[in-house]
Amino acid sequence: MRLILVGFGVVGQGFAEILRDKAAELAQRHHFKATLVGVATRSRGTLYHPAGLKIDTLLEAIEQGHFNHYPDTTGLKRDSDIATMIEQADADAVLECSYSNFEDAQPALDYCRT
């Protein structure tokens, strides 16, 4: 399953760590294999790679404060508008992990509508 994470704070990073740390168990017990192809934040950039992003490298980059620290590779797209990335990406699911307000559920609601 090809995934995009919108939001890469505590929840998004925790989910990425689970994908990395539990990959073998998820595959064996649940026949679930995930490839993280995109990550988007409002303040730290966006990354998309059709072959998948390296989770360890992604976590190291964000530890340094921004996805600019993720190394360039052939096929990598960075700093797209979040909605545009979601629309154009070849992904099976978008996991919304970003901050949203309780009055109108924005911006998460619009990303889910995309």
19-74 pLDDT, tens digit per residue, is: 999 999 999 999 999 999 999 988 898 999 999 999 999 999 999 999 999 999 99
pTM: predicted TM-score of the whole model, two decimal places: 0.87
CA dihedral of residues 72, 23, 99, 67 (deg, nearest 10)? -10
- Kind of pairing between the strands at 35-40 and 46-48: antiparallel
Q: Which two tokens stand for residue 66?
A: 């921004």
